[in-house]
Amino acid sequence: MQALAATAPTAHQSAGELAILDAAVRLFSVHGYDGVSMRRIAEEAGVSKANIYHHFASKQALYFAIMRRSAEELTALLENLAEGKGSFEQRLQVFASAHLDHLFDNQARVRLVLREAFSGDEEKSRAVVEQMVGGLVNRLIAIFEAGQRAGLLRDDLDPGLCAHLLMGADLFYFQAHGLLQQIPEAGFARQPDRYSKQMIDVLLHGMLAQPAEGRVK
């Protein structure tokens, strides 16, 4: 399969088309592209299979439409994520917390994009970077670089690696959330807020040149 491509803006959509998109997002995010049939989508959307082909040229075209829409939505949400005010520490704290909320509030689309991003297909990874996370990552790196220039971040750390650790801590928690439920010792799996606080506390404590004293209670 090809990677998703940038396409024309969204036109107005009929109720049926919206139902199709909604069902397809849900199904693709859980079962993947090959695990979902057009019949199943039509059934879940309450329309005929032929109707899907009236709105979308092919199964791939439907999938691309969903990826494009997801990319737009997630990009819009991510847009303001790195623009927080306040101190270096506060900005990172707010980012981590908001990022985690954002992931859980958009589970289906996030799963869809993660699947594409981590598929191992170079073309897909590039598309995800260019159209979605690239800008966010660069801005987050810029924050760390600025912090490093200001002497707030340890000067022996790679800012890109710091950004990776911060985003990764959120993303991995999101991914592993279901699995953590199966581990009795992982009580933090049921408290995303508490996780975010302790996680960012550990990272900042480990990254900052002069770690803050305010610790988690």
Partner DNA sequence: AATAAAACTGACCGTACGGTCGGTCAGTTA
Partner DNA sequence: TAACTGACCGACCGTACGGTCAGTTTTATT
Question: Contact positions toward DNA, by CB under 7 A?
Answer: 14-17, 36-40, 46-51, 53-55, 57-60
At 158, is the secondary structure helix, strand, or coil? coil
Q: Give the amino acid at 45.
A: A
Q: How far is the CB of 190 from DNA (least distance, A)?
A: 36
Q: Which residues bind its own copies (CB under 8 A)?
A: 30-35, 111, 117-118, 120, 122, 125-126, 128-130, 134, 137-138, 141, 154, 156-162, 164-165, 168-169, 171-173, 175-176, 178-183, 185-188, 195, 198-199, 201-207, 211, 215-217
Residue 90 binding: pick among its own copies, DNA, none (C-beta 5-8 Å cut-off by kind): none
* DSSP code, position 132: I
Residue closer to DNA (CB basis): 24 or 74: 24
Element spanning 105, H or E = helix 88-105
Contacts of 6 (CB under 8 A, 6+ apart): 68, 131
Residue closer to DNA (CB basis): 41 or 199: 41
Query: Given CA atoms 195, 197, 198, 203 in this order, what sign does their dihedral have?
Result: positive
Residue closer to its own copies (CB basis): 5 or 30: 30
4, 131 contact by CB (below 8 A): yes
